[in-house]
Structure 1
Amino acid sequence: MTGFEARQLWLDWLARERRASRHTLVAYGGDLTDFLDFLTRHQGEEPSMASFAALRPADLRAFLAERATRDGVGNATRARQLAAIRGFLRFLARHHGLPPLALAGLRGPRVVPPAPRPLTPEQALDVSRAAGDVENTPLLSARDTALFTLLYGCGLRISEGLALNVKDAPKAGQALRILGKGEKERLVPVLPAVAEAVAAYLRLRGGALPDDPLFLGARGDRLDPGVAQKALRTYRRLVGLPESATPHALRHSFATHLLGAGGDLRAIQELLGHASLSTTQRYTSVDSVKLLETWQKAHPRAR
């Protein structure tokens, strides 16, 4: 079995057994292609099961070093690539007789997750209410207003919002069913403002069928995330918002504002669809920074 045949077997297994998302499969598939191309140059022939059995930590270090020095790849990407390679080799060891490799001591690049950069409550409300004004037709304006209100009001990833169909449209008093990363399903409460903004958009649009995409582009296809990102980029530059004001920042703002108002961290984890509480805990550091800034401005002994 060649290395590329083994790669395809692993990706098929990830999709079937682990229910990995399309984005994960694309990323890991690219990571393995990079590694197999490196081994072809490194060893002078196409990789095989014998090549994998002969791997040593030094080979993986050489791959990571080449990615950093020749290709300029950052720590986060190289750490993900190492994780993909480990998973691939474990799969071959468990399912295809590859001898277990002594790679336990190999450490990947250190990755420090960037702190979320939420908007203030006033900025987030401003975006959800007015960012659609940059569009040149009432329909597209209503669409963007509905989308940004949904992202902030429900804490969705932009991919989750754009994956909705008309039959999934949020309704006040009903939970919105979201299929997130790793095909993980969650229920999110719907605020009246969210339901009203989406309903206003659908009234202007007219004739929408239940299985049609909820958010349409100008040509009638499902709205591309790049179009929504461009609209918000145009708006933030018009009104002087920071460059960090992106559709994903609305999700960060949802979590931070809930936490600042006394929301329970576990509940926020469920609303965001985070697999690990440690991911949600990043928002506690953001809120602590804002509390410290407030203390420094307001406390008499801080001057």
Structure 2
Amino acid sequence: MLLKTVTNHFLQYMSSIDRSNATISGYQKDLTAFQRYLETKLNCEVYIDELVAKDIDDYLYYLKETRGHAPASRARYLHTVRSFFNYAYKKEYVARNIALSVETISVQQKERIALSDEEVEHLVNAIDHEIIKVVVKVLYLTGMRISECLHVTMDDIDMEKRVIHVVAGKGNKDRLLPVSNRLVPILQHYIQFQRPEASSNLLFCTKKTGKLSPVYVNKCISDAVKKLKWKKKVTAHILRHSFASQLVKKDVNLVQIQKLLGHSSLKVTSIYTHTDMNQLSEAVNHL
């Protein structure tokens, strides 16, 4: 069977098990790039049962030497290819899973930076866009992903119960986030005095387009960092990490942090909080 046919079946399967649109889109881009590489290499249409492990090895080598992809990027491509061939094997499109014999790519874990309360305040003050100032405060005080934050609608906020309903976050999982005492007046003031009059029901919108993009938010943050003459790279995701790190420093239970971040496992949560893992080690040694 043609590789592109099995790819389409795989993407349909991902949709049937309720994987998020972002996840499916990412898989589609990765597998399309893989298919194009093979078609160029073999100069013909590609049949999945004719592929061997070396084809995957060659592709990863191409990504490194020709495309200049970093280890983390190549590891992501390999993860996609492995998921695809695992599906293909289970559904009997191939006799064996060739991706199993491909070596895992070693990715050095980068030290994640975290901003302090004072640094977040300086960052907010350096941002020129009033709505982005509020977005940054909400990201830092809730730990939401930027995509989740920008998809929050007015109907998702219950100021009386002080909760935000995060609809279909990563992995298509909904969750309720409590609105902290510190965030309540910020949101109330924004909704009452700062939110533009627009046809959009999104919490963060503009008159012109009715929405904000993650790219634009990160650009505003980057511009503010340059204005502050900071050497470190700060993104919307760093605010999520800062949220988690601050909670760990204040001895909040890791399981509670996991629930707030919407992680499926504590292992993932520990990645965001690893700068304070020494504190966690000290805690378990009390047993």
Deviation at 1:125, TM superposition (A): 3.5
Match of 2:79?
Answer: 83
Partner AA of 1:91 in structure 2: Y
Residues 198 and 207, structure 2, Cα contact 8 Å, conserved in 1: no
1:115 aligns with 2:111: yes
Q: Deviations over 1:163-204 (max 9, x none)?
A: 011122352652222131011122221113322222212222
1:259 aligns with 2:248: yes
| TM-score normalised by length of structure 1 | 0.83
Match of 2:134?
Answer: 146
Give SS of 1:281's match: helix
How far, CA to CA, are the matches of 1:29 and 1:277 in structure 2? Answer: 28
Deviation at 1:116, TM superposition (A): 2.2
Q: Deviations over 1:140-160 (max 9, x none)?
A: x1x223211211111111111
Q: Paired residue for 1:272, among 249, 261, 280? A: 261
Deviation at 1:258, TM superposition (A): 0.5
Partner AA of 2:162 in structure 1: Q
| TM-score normalised by length of structure 2 | 0.87
Q: Deviations over 1:85-132 (max 9, x none)?
A: 22222222222542123442321311233232111221124435x355
1:171 aligns with 2:159: yes
How far, CA to CA, are the matches of 1:206 and 1:38 in structure 2? Answer: 46
* Percent of aligned pairs with the same amino acid: 27
In structure 2, the CA distance between the partners of 1:172 and 1:272, relative to structure 1 (3 Å rule), is farther
Partner AA of 1:127 in structure 2: L
Match of 2:70?
Answer: 74
Match of 2:26?
Answer: 27
Which stretch shows the higher mean deviation, 170-179 or 267-276?
Answer: 170-179
Q: Which has the larger radius of gyration?
A: 1
Match of 2:285?
Answer: none
Aligned residues: 278
Which stretch shows the higher mean deviation, 252-261 or 87-96?
Answer: 87-96
In structure 2, the CA distance between the partners of 1:34 and 1:181, relative to structure 1 (3 Å rule), is same
Match of 1:98?
Answer: 94
1:5 aligns with 2:5: yes
Residues 7 and 31, structure 2, Cα contact 8 Å, conserved in 1: yes
Residues 166 and 208, structure 1, Cα contact 8 Å, conserved in 2: no
How far, CA to CA, are the matches of 1:170 and 1:153 in structure 2? Answer: 16
Deviation at 1:267, TM superposition (A): 1.0
Q: Deviations over 1:185-230 (max 9, x none)?
A: 2222111332222221222236567x61111135142111222222
Match of 2:276?
Answer: 287
Partner AA of 1:67 in structure 2: L
Q: Deviations over 1:263-295 (max 9, x none)?
A: 11111111111122112113443125799xxxx
How far, CA to CA, are the matches of 2:2 and 2:50 in structure 1? Answer: 14
Residues 159 and 225, structure 1, Cα contact 8 Å, conserved in 2: yes
